[in-house]
Amino acid sequence: MKRIALVNVHCDPLEQLGSAEAGGQNVYVYHLAKALGKLGFQVDVFCRLNSRSKKERVRLTKHVQFIRLKAGHRQFIPKNKLGPLLPEFISNFLAWQKQEKAEYCLLHSHYWEAGWVTLQLKSILNVPQVHTFHSLGIMRYNALKGFREQSLDTKEIKHRIAIERDITHKANCIVSTSTYEREYLEKHYAANLDHVRVVPCGVDLIRFKPIDRHDARKKIGAPDGDKIILYAGRVEWRKGIGTLILGVHKLFKHHPELRGKTWLYIVGGNLGRKAEPEVREEIQRLKNVCRDYGIRDRTVFTGAVQQEKLHYYYSAANACVIPSYYEPFGMVPLEAMACKVPVIASDTGGLPYTVRDGKSGLLVPVRNPGAIANTLEKVLTNRELDEKLIRGGRELVKTTFSWRIIAEQVAHAYERTIEKAGGKK
């Protein structure tokens, strides 16, 4: 049995989704590890220990375990502040590996800071490296420069881009989640495309499956006869939630008959004392926006929802909107499609890779509340369109994005990488 390490420093794959820095990457690493275990790999997943209440080791299945390594204080630290702690993470990885006598045939790193860590481990252990970026610094900059003032000359972004370029050239293989990202790697990082494999993210079709809307709404305490517009994900400005709120305001303004029987559910972000300061501030800002535009009484902020309960919210919804200003791939549309919910998404980044316009969902221009309002009106009132998108979305995830299919593609990339590196077992 081949033993591999997934190195994922800043986000804990077992973290409750919707909290700070707990989103698509967590889901990806968790389900990839689980699916690879079913294919016969022995999988060790490494992340930083970020809480005093968490165990240092959690076994998920016979072949998959999660190891949390100490690096700084056992508390949440934003990923852009982790740089000085990475050498400690490397030391504790090597200590654990020596203690367990773990011999890895391959290391698969996730995100740029874990990529840097794994470059060092690759050199020390003489083991091939596969890397998945999940997000690129230059891609993020280009996508967001029209929405918030920023500079490529800052020390932080220059450092990140330099590390990403180094990883691109030194990792044995890059597993890219979309053709959009692959093009960026070639254009901005001079990637050798022979070393880049495009393998998308997947969706858990066992967990995310359609259930009766009436039953779903009963589970979450939602009104049974009304329409529900759903946002699910992290609560931060680049996710475009404010644009969605304005879109719903415009929907109600131009179609007042929908106002009294339509709700906006915003799922994500810890509430109360558990909330991180930046999340608490953003939620309060969004509540103020709702109040300013007269839809606070039609908006529900649920806070973060456990992964095993999220399918109730999808199944309860009439439409799921992903209004992001920037999204390297996006797992929410896949989960919504799997639950037979029509998807509306921003035409940006990797979203068009899953939201096939007019087939598995509908695309709208970025930061365009009017377009969101118009598209919502179509989905909420046109039953024929609604059913077409539901059929197309469900068929797409079944045939293309199941984790079994994704894991098989990643495993093939592993086999080729190991073979090229000399067949080290």
**Distance, CA of 5 to CA of 29 (rounded, Å):** 11
**pTM of the model as a whole:** 0.86
**198 inside domain:** yes
Most confident of 106-110, 135-139, 232-236, 279-283: 106-110
**347 inside domain:** yes
Q: Which domain holds residue 160?
A: 3-202+402-420
Residues 244 and 124 in one domain: no
**425 inside domain:** no
Residues 174 and 290 in one domain: no
**227 inside domain:** yes
Residues 396 and 407 in one domain: no
Residues 98 and 225 in one domain: no
- Residue 104 pLDDT grade (very low, low, confident, very high; cuts 50, 70, 90): very high
pLDDT tens, 286-331?
999 999 999 999 999 999 898 889 999 999 999 999 999 988 888 9
pLDDT tens, 50-60?
999 999 999 99
Closest CA to 354 of 331, 380, 375: 331
pLDDT tens, 369-410?
999 999 999 999 999 999 999 999 999 999 999 999 999 999
Task: Calculate mean pLDDT across residues 179-208.
Answer: 94
Residues ≥6 apart with Cβ < 8 Å to 122: 107, 128, 129, 170, 171
Residues 360 and 346 in one domain: yes
Residues 140 and 152 in one domain: yes
Residues 182 and 218 in one domain: no
Residues 306 and 194 in one domain: no
- Residue 194 pLDDT grade (very low, low, confident, very high; cuts 50, 70, 90): very high
Residues 172 and 251 in one domain: no
Residues 235 and 146 in one domain: no
Residues 101 and 121 in one domain: yes
**Distance, CA of 89 to CA of 50 (rounded, Å):** 12
**207 inside domain:** no
- Residue 20 pLDDT grade (very low, low, confident, very high; cuts 50, 70, 90): low
Residues 218 and 240 in one domain: yes
For residue 399, the model assigns a pLDDT of 94
For residue 78, the model assigns a pLDDT of 87
pLDDT tens, 118-165?
999 999 999 999 999 998 999 888 877 767 666 676 888 899 999 999
Q: What percent of the chain has pLDDT over 90?
A: 81
**208 inside domain:** no
**161 inside domain:** yes
Contact between 188 and 316 (Cβ < 8 Å): no
**Distance, CA of 290 to CA of 248 (rounded, Å):** 10
Round the average pLDDT of the chain to a whole number and report it.
93
CATH number, position 147: 3.40.50.2000
Number of domains the chain is built from: 2
Ordered DSSP codes for 37-73: HHTT-EEEEEEE---TTS-SEEE-SSSEEEEEEP-SS
**131 inside domain:** yes
